[in-house]
Amino acid sequence: MSENVRCSQLDPADKSAVMQWFAVYTVTRHEKRVAHLLNLRTIENFVPLYQKQCQWRDGSKVMLQLPLFSSYLFVRINRSGRVPVLQVPGVRSIIGFGWQPSPIPDNYIDWLRDSLRQRKIEPHPYLAAGAKVRIRSGAMAGSEGILLRMKNDFRVVLTMEMINRSVAVEVTLKDIEPVSLSCFSSTAVQTSSAVDLEVQCCS
């Protein structure tokens, strides 16, 4: 039984004890620092980090671990845990709508961790609309995104609207399906980042 189902069966007084994931907005380039301070306070957190090879001016190369979502990380807390998080230096807010923070499903966090471990995910410029496909299998089955082709690989750009951030996830063609066959043309479109869109949605 999922945590969401269990939560709905609790009394209102008990719901405050349920541990859930929330997105935290931080000062720019302070994601790791905030995570360190959260660890010192024994607050469970997750900073999605991906690996990127960089070259210094002297020609040497180094592999860096960089935040997948710039200025964001995730914490797993209950309702009473919000104030301690907001008191951490470098934390600006807990993301939500109005005064109510919005929880993030456990399976989304699990999917992020698994994708990063397999190196099948990377940051992508925020996209709000474009050629749409639907992921058919896996933890993110049913999620809709934008199909891109990068060299010989295919990626689906998924957008987390809550924090206005997108990531590109490596997929195979058997893992995806068009959202609407009638809305697609076979004409490829060249984007400003030299990435080919395999199909273009007319809607």
Domains of the chain: 18-104 (3.30.70.940), 119-203 (2.30.30)
Which of 54-58, 93-97, 100-104 is the least confident region? 54-58
* Nearest CA among 111, 197, 192 for reference residue 157: 197
Residue 166 tokens, joined: 């997108």
Across 25-54, average pLDDT: 96
* Model confidence band, residue 12 (pLDDT cutoffs 50, 70, 90): low
Alpha carbon distances (Å) from 15 to 3, 4, 78, 138: 11, 11, 8, 29
* Model confidence band, residue 57 (pLDDT cutoffs 50, 70, 90): confident
Cα 22 from Cα 88, distance rounded (Å): 15
Position 170 scores a pLDDT of: 86
* Nearest CA among 53, 73, 48, 56 for reference residue 64: 53
- 189 compared with 80, residue with greater pLDDT: 80
Q: Is the pTM of this model over 0.75?
A: no
Longest dimension (CA), the chain: 62
The per-residue pLDDT of the chain, averaged, comes to 79
